[in-house]
Amino acid sequence: MANVVSFHESIALPGDSGGVVAILTEPGSEITGQQRPSVTLLNAGVIHRVGPHRLHVRLARALAAAGFPALRLDLSGIGDSRPLAEGLTFRESAVADIRTALDWQVARLGDAPAILFGICSGADNALAAALQDTRVAGIVLVDPHAYATRRARLRQLRRMGPRALLRRVGAQLLPRASRAHAGDGAPGGSARQPPPREDMRGQLQALVARGVRILSIHTLAQGQRNNHVDQVFESFPELRGKVDTLYFPRANHTFTALSEQAALIDAVVQWCGRRFPAS
């Protein structure tokens, strides 16, 4: 009979007011060794703490089985958490909530490093919080902002075939205003615009210089903004060897297919174990 690794789940209410709600998944008593970093799973857009297609539930339990406590956090205004604080932008509120959750984890689990995991806007929030809080030692970004390169555009055209060339020519004949709203295959269309490339470069370089481990994961949903495992380094060649990347060419933005979801979970758990080994 196969061994079954247990885990324990409990409700967490970070912060003095208890307005932010989370679920803590801890390793079972049979898992011994040094304390591992905690992993905070951030909302993907406005999806509450179970994650897209219950991805966060499965990931949290897999992480706990590997010895990493995992906190599935609802940011203010999402799921069971209180509305956004007045006077704060969504990003400011998200970073404040994440830092509150880290405070709670230190009090509950001890002063271990923290890892943040986020998809789409969750990746943006993870990056923003990591830049402000030195307790963050690792970030896993799924479909973070990416930047189309000449090679990426050529790869996209080769994959789409000759008809794509005709469509591209036709698109160039559209009025400029129409082209501006056509998008380039990025998730969320024009609603989630990337910061200037040099701003992103500076943010990633600052984290790398601080020793933060980064795993950048991309899916087919990003189109020509990222369609190759090496494309991050086409945009930021100085980060080669300093940032880890993965590309899921058959996964959609929210990992609907259970096979792709399982592959993502396995990859994240393995990366956490490799980059944050038990001492």
pLDDT by residue, tens only, the chain of 279 residues? 445 567 899 999 998 777 899 999 999 876 655 678 999 999 999 999 999 999 999 999 999 999 999 999 999 999 999 988 788 899 999 999 999 999 999 998 888 899 999 999 999 999 999 999 999 999 999 999 988 887 767 777 777 766 655 565 455 444 443 333 333 333 433 467 889 999 999 999 999 999 999 999 999 888 778 778 888 898 999 999 999 999 998 999 999 999 999 999 999 999 999 999 986
The residue whose two tokens read 């259970």 is 258
Q: What pLDDT score does 190 carry?
A: 41
75 Cα distance to chain centroid: 15
77/93 Cα distance (integer angstroms): 10
In terms of Cα–Cα distance, which of 185, 193, 186 is closest to 160?
185
Token code pair at residue 114: 């923290």
Checking DSSP bridges between strand 114-119 and strand 213-219, what pairing results, if any?
unpaired
Token code pair at residue 132: 């402000």
154/179 Cα distance (integer angstroms): 19
Q: What pLDDT score does 34 carry?
A: 61
- Per the CB < 8 A criterion, the answer to whether 115 and 38 are in contact is yes
Checking DSSP bridges between strand 22-27 and strand 70-73, what pairing results, if any?
antiparallel
Strand order in the sheet with 7-12: 7-12, 22-27, 70-73, 38-41, 114-119, 136-142, 213-219, 244-248
> DSSP string of 129-167?
HHHH-TTEEEEEEES------HHHHHHHHHHH-HHHHHH
Long-range contacts of 153-156 (CB under 8 A, 24+ apart): 153/224, 155/224, 155/227, 155/228, 156/185, 156/223, 156/224, 156/227
pTM score, whole prediction: 0.86
> Which phi and psi angles does 7 have, rounded to 5°?
-145, 165
First-to-last alpha carbon distance for the chain, in angstroms, is 30
The residue whose two tokens read 């933060």 is 212
C-alpha distances out from residue 138 to 73, 129, 180, 240, Å: 17, 11, 36, 17
The residue whose two tokens read 């991050």 is 232
SS3 222: helix
